[in-house]
Chains A and B, each alone.
Chain A
Amino acid sequence: MFKGDFIKNLPKIYGTYTGGFAVFIILMAIAEQAGVSAKNIGVMFVAFTVLIYALIGYLSRTIQVDAYYVAGRQVPTVFNGMATAADWMSGASFVALAGGVYFGGYTYMAFLVGWTGGYVLVATLMAPYLRKFGCYTVPDFIGTRYGGNFVRACAVFVLFIASFTYVTAQINATGTIASRALGIPFELGVWVGLISILICSMLGGMRAVTWTQVAQYIVLIVAYLLPVFWISSKVGGGIFPHLMLGDEVARLGELEQSFGLVKNSAADMKAAGVPGGLKYISGSHSGVPEGGMAVWKYLSLAICMMVGTASLPHILMRYFTTPTVRAARKSVAWSLFFIFLLYSSAPMLATLSKLSLMDPNLPTGIIGKSISEVGVTPDIFVEENSENNLLSSASQQRSFYADQKQLIVLGQKYAQRQKIIKQLDKDFSKLTIEDKTIINAYNLKYFLTPAKACDLGNKLLTAKCIDPSFTLLNTMKGLSLYEYYQ
C-alpha cells in the first residue's frame, strides 16, 4: 500500500490514520449507546491516542543527529504547518481559549489577535533567517549570527526562562486533562501526561515529535470543530457559525442588558466587593470597554502575546525542519492557517455557550426564568415552599435553615462553617448577608452537584430564589466565597 518514499506517502498515511480515527470515534459512540461508562470511554480515548503516538515515536526512532534534532530537514510545508499548529495549540488554546472568551468577552480576545499576529513576526523576522543559517537550535543560530559563546549563553538563558514558564502552564493543563479524562487525581495525571510525552519523544527526537504532532493536529481539530458545528445547528445558530452567528452576538448584547448583567459591572462590582474572577460573569460579550486605559490594556496584552509567540523555542524549532528557506516561509503561513481554523472557532463556541445559557427560547436558557420554569427545582423547595412564595414565613425560613445546618454538619471541614453553625444555633436572623450567601452556596453544592443544563445559571438562579433579598451581586459574592472556602 505504501510503496516508495515515506515523505511521498504522507498524505496517504495520514488519510488512513484519519479514517482509523473516525472508525474509532464511531466505535466509541456505539460503546456509549451500549452502556459503557463515560469514564471507560475517556480511558479508551487516552489509551488510543497515547498508543498511536507511542507507536509513531517508536517507528521514528533514530540515532542520526539530523533526524533527531531537525527531523532530517525534510518535513513538507503543509505537514510542518500542522505539526506547528498542534505544538502551538495545547493547554491554553485548546483547553482555555473558549472559556476565556466566554468569561472575558471582547477584552479577553486580545489573546486571539496576539497569538495569531505573532506569526507575522515569525514569518518576516525569524523563520527564514533561522532556516538560512542551517543550525540545529535557536541559541546555535544566535551564537553563529552574532558570534561568541557569551551571546549563545544569553540565548540559552532567555529560552530557558521562556520554556520554563511555558512548560509550567503546559504541565498544569496536561495534568488537568489526564485527571479529567482518566478520573485520577491531578498529581497522578501530571505523571501520566509526562510519561506519555517521554514515550512519544525520547527515541525519535524531533522526527518523532513532528509525526506525532501531525497526528495530534488531526485529532484536535476534529475534536474542536465538530462540537462547534454541532452545537450551532442544535441551538439554531446556523450550520456554519462563523458566518451566521452575527445576529446572535448582537442579541447577546441585548440579553445582557435586559438581565442587568452588564449594568452590574465596574463600579457596582467594586462597591459590592465581588472578588476576582467572578466579576467576568457580568462582563459584556461583544461590547468594547470605554476609555484609553481599556484600549491600552487590550493593545499591551496583544503586543506581549505577539512578541512572546515569536520567541517560543518549540515553535521556532519547527522552522529548522523544512527542506528550504522558501519552505520555511510557506510553512509559517500554513501553520497560521491551521491555527486559524481553531482560533476563529473559539469565540463561536463561547458565543454558543453563552447563548445556550441566556436565550429564553432554549430549554437550557435559564437565566431570568423562575425555578418552576427551569424544572431543576431541588426537592426541598417543592416540599416546603409554595412556588410563588419562597420562604415567606419565619417558620419556613427557620426550618429551611435548620436543613442547611444538617447539610453543613455533613460536610464540615473549615472554621467558617463552624462559625455559621454556631450562629445558626443562636438565631438565624443574626446571620450576616455573607453567612447567608455561604449557606446558599452550600445548599447549591448539595442540591445541584450533578448540575443539569448549566451549572452556573442554576447556581445564580437558585441562590436568588432562596432569598429574594439576594441580588445578583450578593449571589455572586456568595458563590465566590463558597469557591474560596471549598
Chain B
Amino acid sequence: MSNKDAYWNKTKNHMIVTLVLWAFFSLVIFMFGSELNTMSFLGYPLAYYMTAQGSLLAFVIMLFWTANKQEKIDEEHGFSEREDD
C-alpha cells in the first residue's frame, strides 16, 4: 500500500471514529432522555445536563482532540504543514 493510501485509510478511520462519537453525543443519548433524567449529575437531571452543557462540552473536546490527532496522522505520513503557519 502506498503512503498516500495508508494516509487516506488512517484519515478515513479517524473521521469515522469522530462521527460515531458525534452520533453518540448528539443522537443516541437523547433517545433515552426520560431514562437518563432519573439520574443526576452535579444536581442536574442528567438528560437536561447533557442537552444544556454535557454534549456541547463533549463536542468542543472532541474537536480539539480530532484536530490534534489528524495533525499527528499528517506528520506521520509527511503531509505536515507546521512550517506554513
Asked if A242 is an interface residue, CB under 8 A from chain B, the answer is: yes
A387 to B84, CA, bound (A): 77
Contact of A109 among B18, B52, B62 (CB under 8 A): B52
Q: How many residues of B are counted as interface, with CB atoms below 8 angstroms from the partner's CB atoms?
A: 43
Contact of B22 among A120, A289, A323 (CB under 8 A): A120
Taken residue by residue from 4 to 29, chain B's Cβ proximity to chain A (1 for < 8 Å, 0 otherwise) reads as 00000000000100110010011100
Residue pair A324, B52 in contact (C-beta under 8 Å)? no
User: For B36, what are the chain A residues with a Cβ–Cβ distance below 8 Å?
Assistant: 288
Residue pair A112, B18 in contact (C-beta under 8 Å)? no
Residue from B31, B51, B62, B85 whose CB has the most chain A CB atoms within 10 Å: B51
Asked if A82 is an interface residue, CB under 8 A from chain B, the answer is: no
Residue pair B56, A288 in contact (C-beta under 8 Å)? no
Give chain A nearest CB distance to B5 CB in angstroms: 18
Residue pair A326, B53 in contact (C-beta under 8 Å)? no
Q: Is the interface of A mostly helix, strand, loop or mixed?
A: helix
A120 to B62, CA, bound (A): 8
Residue pair A288, B37 in contact (C-beta under 8 Å)? yes
A101 to B79, CA, bound (A): 45
Asked if B76 is an interface residue, CB under 8 A from chain A, the answer is: no
User: For A120, what are the chain B residues with a Cβ–Cβ distance below 8 Å?
Assistant: 18-19, 22, 26, 59, 62-63, 66
Residue pair B26, A340 in contact (C-beta under 8 Å)? no
The 6 closest A-B pairs by CB, nearest first: A246-B43, A333-B63, A288-B33, A117-B26, A286-B48, A347-B52
Residues of B participating in the A interface, judged by any CB pair closer than 8 Å: 15, 18-19, 22, 25-27, 30-31, 33-34, 36-37, 40-45, 47-49, 51-53, 55-57, 59-60, 62-64, 66-67, 70-71, 74, 80-82, 84-85
Residues of A participating in the B interface, judged by any CB pair closer than 8 Å: 106, 109-110, 112-114, 116-117, 119-121, 123-125, 128, 242-243, 245-247, 249-250, 253, 286-290, 295, 298-299, 302-303, 306, 323-327, 329-330, 332-333, 336-337, 340, 343-344, 347-348
**CB-defined A-B contacts under 8 Å, sample of 20:** A110-B30, A120-B22, A120-B66, A125-B15, A128-B70, A245-B43, A286-B37, A286-B48, A289-B34, A306-B26, A326-B71, A326-B81, A329-B67, A332-B67, A336-B59, A336-B60, A336-B63, A344-B52, A344-B57, A348-B52
